[in-house]
Structure 1
Amino acid sequence: MAKRGDRGGAKTRAHIAAVATELFVERGFDDVTVAEIAAASGVSKVTVFSHFERKEDLALDRLPDAVGVARAAIRDRPDGVGVVEAFRRTALALAQEQHPLSGLSPAGEPLARTVAGSRALISRLREFEHEIEAELADELESDARFSGDSELVAAVIVAAYRTVAVATTRRRLAGDDLDVLVAAHCERLNAAFTALAAAW
């Protein structure tokens, strides 16, 4: 596995992911092989798998970034700001920036359609929900400022965000105007996290 600090490795990883995404969008996830991705990227299959554990991760290569963002929301929050409020601020900032992790980037619709059309990719996203819940629970458990049930809080935060994100994605794929959708997404995030803040 290439180290994150290895610039050459990071560039290779990004290049492979970009090529793979283009092929997936063009032909569909299930109809593209890793061998074809390797050939189009100018690398070997061994190199592909040195950067990505599975084919699904080629399409969802930003998921590891989400773990870092979520951990940072907890770790870097100012004193006096609760965990739920920290996540509200982070989620709203990503949405307003139309960051790729928000699902609202202007160029993200073709990939969203590809993911929605693949059972394998949807299954991988569901697995990731459990992975990020565990990461959040671990971060909360080690946070001296937090007192409460770390697993429960992590689970409800992920569930709330997933509910909003899925609804937003469906509306986007249905053709809703992106600017209108960003505003609606932020409104629903505020409503969801206000409800959670009242509980904690």
Structure 2
Amino acid sequence: MTIPADLRSRKRLATRQAISNAATRLFFVRGFEQVTVDEIAAAASVGRMTVFNHFPRKEDMFFDREEEGRELLRAALRQRDPAIAPIETLRLLAHRLVAEDSPYVSFSAAGQGFIATIEASATLKARARAIRDELAHVVAQALTDATGRDANDPLAHLAASLLLATWSTALVEAHRAFAQHGDARLAKAGFLSLVDRGHTGLDAAMAGTPYA
């Protein structure tokens, strides 16, 4: 009996999520470097090769929403209102993510565990930096696609780098604020305040370009 493609897809996604969840739980408790792939496979009730079929690198199990985040940024610019500038579209995206309580801007005890696990691992810190650089490239490409500019436009790359620096700083400071007072509402407000302030500078830097 042939399994329908949509069912196979759902089963594959469920297996992938189960592996990621099992890995993350182990990483939180014992630290990233101390957990082996065999232990993750056992915790997820799958074989070692199944783990690698879904995640080529161990750190990919921890940062399992990376591609989803890239597509979120691409889609925001691809579907933007033509009357709203690309940079403003991304600022509004930050506000929408907070309003929707997106996991990308969730400040909680679990989020503190996520940050602490990264800080305790040189491998995860390196991957986090690489993801930030990759996201900057994605944003630059999405900006040029949205405006019809050359893909190598240095202004797009400058805008993307400034935007990622703004959002990264806002996230770090919001997590730090939550660690101090445990109030998610205040942490989100602080995140948006820094995003808005950073975008004010970004708008000034991109004045006279199709990005602002």
TM exceeding 0.5:
yes
Gaps of 5+ in 2: 1-5, 207-212
- Whether 1:126 and 2:126 are equivalent positions in the alignment is no
- Whether 1:187 and 2:190 are equivalent positions in the alignment is no
Q: How many residues align?
A: 197
Look up the SS of the partner of 2:160 in the other structure.
helix
1:73-130 residue CA offsets vs partner (Å, 9 max, x unmatched): 2111101111111111111221233311124356422222212222211110100011
RMSD over aligned Cα atoms: 2.1
Gaps of 5+ in 1: none
> How much identity, in percent, do the aligned residues show?
33
Structure-2 separation of matches of 1:103 and 1:122: 19
Q: How does 1:46-195 map to 2 (within 5 A)?
A: 46-104=49-107, 107-144=110-147, 149-195=155-201
Structure-1 separation of matches of 2:32 and 2:178: 20
Q: TM-score scaled to structure 1, two decimals? A: 0.89
Structure-1 separation of matches of 2:115 and 2:179: 8
Higher deviation after alignment, 109-118 or 187-196: 109-118
Q: TM-score scaled to structure 2, two decimals? A: 0.84
Structure with higher Rg: it is 2
Look up the SS of the partner of 1:125 in the other structure.
helix
> Judging changes above 3 Å, is the alpha-carbon distance between structure 1 residues 76 and 11 closer, same or farther for their aligned structure 2 residues?
same
Where has structure 1 moved over 3 Å in runs of 4 or more? 144-148, 173-176
Structure-1 separation of matches of 2:119 and 2:106: 12
8 Å Cα contact 1:98/1:106 also seen in 2? no
* CA shift for structure 1 position 142: 2.2
